[in-house]
Amino acid sequence: MKFSFIIPAYNYGHRLVRALDSVFHQPGEDYEGVIINDGSTDNTADVVQPYILKFAGRCRYIEQENQGVSVARNRGIDESRGEYLIFLDADDEMLPDVLPEIRKKLSENEQVGMLLGGHYTSRDSGEEKLCKLKPLPESRKKCFLDYINKKINTTNGAAVIKKEVFDNIRYPPGLGNSEDVVVFSQVFANYPCISIDIPLVRIHRHSDSLRTDLNAIDHAGFKMVDYLFDENKIPAELMVYKENYYYIRSLALFRKYYRAKHYLLAAQYYSLALKGKPLRALKLTYSGKYLRMLPKLIFGKR
């Protein structure tokens, strides 16, 4: 088995067909889909059943009590049989016929730990944006720094990761949000990575997504910084960037709370970033949002 698509699912039965079709319509038979039902109370099991029958031996379904997406992905890692793993959220979809391109690229670069492609972001409004990926730096340190400084934009589904990477790296349980940032950062820091000049996945953004869950964002907070800069998983030479990353994280949290119209918390995170990273915080992409929300703060909006 060359590839394992790991799909954690929690009450997304109404969207899961799209994800499963996008996987099992890929050319070839050297891959499997591993669906981890993370304690769903909807019709997820019924949705998966026809695929189990049609793709016997290549569609594997596992149920567990609800423990969160990180635990589900880690369970998928343990259950997978593929040499390379692709983590696909249950509400997203692989683009048609990308697996042959991935096969070809990896056959020419067998020593890499991770292959990254571009991705589309699609919103309920119908708006869609293509996020292209430039060739990655050869230096692991440069890849790591570019990623944590938001110069490399990637996502689950657009990353093909060698399974042996997860002998040491895992999705941090209990984080609730940004767990993928931790994993990508640690892979960049420790393994050679390459890019492929095509989009691999379509990411669907919608109101009930965990990506917009304020409780999950609250829970992750700065905790994810400590998970990311685990001295057992990050080379010593890169640990010096931990303090700097707190301010980068402040700006990320500012933007999340701004989009959620939670302006008081957004202002607090912006002020923190302004103290530690003034030049970055004063860039228009951040300062413009801050200025737009000031009247709402002044007139008593949260």
Q: How many C-beta atoms lie closer than 10 Å to residue 70's C-beta?
A: 21
Residue 175 has a pLDDT of: 81
What is the residue type of 33? G
E strands, the chain, in order:
3-9, 31-38, 59-64, 84-87, 93-94, 114-123, 128-131, 159-162, 193-205
Residue 297 has a pLDDT of: 84
- Paired with 87 in beta bridges are 6
Per this entry, what is the length of the chain? 302
Residue 214 has a pLDDT of: 66
Phi and psi, residue 194, nearest 5°: -135, 170
Residue 213 has a pLDDT of: 61
pLDDT in tens, the chain (302 residues): 999 999 999 999 999 999 999 999 999 999 999 999 999 999 999 999 999 999 999 999 999 999 999 999 999 999 999 999 999 999 999 999 999 999 999 999 989 999 999 999 998 888 999 999 989 999 999 999 999 999 999 999 999 999 999 999 999 998 877 899 999 999 999 999 999 999 999 999 876 555 556 666 776 788 999 999 999 999 999 999 999 999 999 999 999 999 889 999 999 999 999 999 899 999 999 999 999 999 988 876 54
Write the CB contacts of 286 (distance below 8 Å, at least 6 apart in sequence): 251, 254, 255, 270, 273, 280
Residue 209 has a pLDDT of: 57
The predicted model scores a pTM of 0.91
Q: Which two tokens stand for residue 141?
A: 């340190």
Q: How many C-beta atoms lie closer than 10 Å to residue 88's C-beta?
A: 24
Residue 207 has a pLDDT of: 66
Q: Whole-angstrom Cα distance, residue 293 to residue 195?
A: 38
User: What SS3 state is found at 82?
Assistant: coil
Q: Whole-angstrom Cα distance, residue 45 to residue 41?
A: 9
Q: Whole-angstrom Cα distance, residue 214 to residue 126?
A: 23
Residue 131 has a pLDDT of: 94
Whole-Å CA distances, 294 to 151, 271, 297? 28, 13, 5
The residue assigned the tokens 């300062």 is 287
